[in-house]
């Protein structure tokens, strides 16, 4: 196996106004989340979030403590949320707790602690893909698997938008405080209905936390147009399937695509209130 990582530093909004396309993509876009039998990570200075992916095909993959963490284990001072976004089922093995199987679009929360975590696929012909977000944690909360049905039972599913507005979508708030306790991590999965392409519109910011988006369930020959930047200084990133993007606390985060898709959102910061957002009218964006 192999672990790859890179550091991303925070950008001041006044500086970001002057970024060209190349610089914007370098600072915010995560082009390679998955590669066979490798773990890829980006350590972001935005709330110290780690965004990554593990794709075990022929071997189990260890979630290693990369050098910037300065810790014996990846989870020594961190919590993590994991979604299986691959073709088949996978298993997350947690030292001292056992193995937990994740089907496609199921999620897992693991709290902080000194223990190893490994990923493996049940069928190498249909490998699992484990997408994860990790944030610093002040205490240890229990491990918990969460399905879409669990989120619905907890009243954590929202159905918003309309086909007429091209944004008919189901928001599965899965790793949120309505469903389980976390330190600062919130994650969920939004599924757009066929014929809908817009997410998170009208756009918003939330200065109390940053966010990362991961796009999948998109045909190989289609693309996502991700909008970011200050509401009066918007920028665009063209993205493909299985790519992620970092969204600073001062930036909007919204997208339209050439096809319907699914995306996973993950947030970290000082506020666990999902509805803590500052909205902007479509006609006020520039």
Provide the CATH number for the domain around residue 174. Answer: 2.60.120.10
**pLDDT given at position 215:** 98
State percent of the chain over pLDDT 90: 91
Tell me the residue range of the domain where 67 lies: 2-284
- The single-letter DSSP state of residue 202 is S
Pairing of strands 38-44, 2-8: parallel
Are 214 and 264 within 8 A, CB to CB? Answer: yes
Total domains in the chain come to 1
| pLDDT for 30 beyond 90 | yes
3-state secondary structure of 65: coil
| Structure tokens that stand for 67 in this block | 């050098």
| Structure tokens that stand for 103 in this block | 């089907």
Mean pLDDT of the chain: 96
Give φ, ψ of 97 to 5 degrees.
-125, -20
Max CA pair span of the chain: 54
Mean pLDDT calculated for residue range 112-139? 98
pTM confidence score: 0.97
Q: Quick one: pLDDT band at residue 127, thresholds 50, 70, 90?
A: very high
pLDDT, tens digit, 9 for 90 and up, residues 243-276? 999 999 999 999 999 999 999 999 999 878 777 7
| pLDDT for 74 beyond 80 | yes
| Structure tokens that stand for 50 in this block | 């780690």
Give φ, ψ of 22 to 5 degrees.
-60, -45
- CA 41 – CA 133 distance, rounded (Å): 9
Mean pLDDT calculated for residue range 86-100? 97
- CA 115 – CA 278 distance, rounded (Å): 39
Facing residues of 204 across strands?
A: 279
């Amino acid at each position: 196996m192999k672990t790859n990582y890179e550091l991303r530093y925070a950008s001041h909004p006044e500086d970001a106004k002057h970024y060209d396309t190349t610089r914007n993509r370098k600072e915010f876009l995560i082009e390679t989340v998955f590669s066979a039998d490798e773990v890829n990570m980006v350590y972001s200075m935005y709330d110290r979030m780690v965004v990554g992916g593990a794709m075990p095909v022929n071997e189990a993959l260890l979630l290693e403590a990369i050098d910037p963490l300065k810790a014996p284990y990846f989870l020594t001072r961190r919590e993590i949320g994991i979604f299986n976004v691959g073709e088949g089922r996978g298993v997350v093995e947690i030292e001292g707790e056992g193995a937990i199987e994740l089907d496609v679009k199921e999620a897992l929360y693991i709290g902080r602690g000194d223990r190893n975590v490994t990923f493996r696929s049940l069928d190498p012909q249909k490998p699992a893909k484990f997408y994860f977000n990790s944030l610093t944690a002040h205490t240890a909360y229990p491990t918990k698997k969460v399905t879409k049905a669990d989120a619905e039972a907890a009243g954590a599913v929202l159905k918003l938008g309309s086909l007429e507005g091209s944004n008919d979508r189901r928001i599965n708030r899965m790793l949120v405080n309505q469903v389980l306790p976390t330190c600062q991590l919130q994650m969920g999965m939004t599924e757009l209905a066929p014929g809908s392409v817009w997410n998170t519109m009208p756009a918003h910011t939330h200065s109390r936390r940053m966010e990362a988006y991961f796009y999948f369930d998109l045909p190989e020959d289609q693309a996502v147009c991700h909008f970011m930047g200050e509401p009066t200084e918007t920028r665009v990133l063209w993205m493909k399937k299985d790519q992620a993007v970092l969204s600073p606390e001062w930036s909007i985060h919204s997208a339209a695509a050439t096809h319907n898709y699914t995306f996973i959102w993950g947030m970290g910061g000082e506020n666990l209130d999902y509805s803590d957002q500052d909205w902007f009218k479509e006609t006020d964006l520039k």
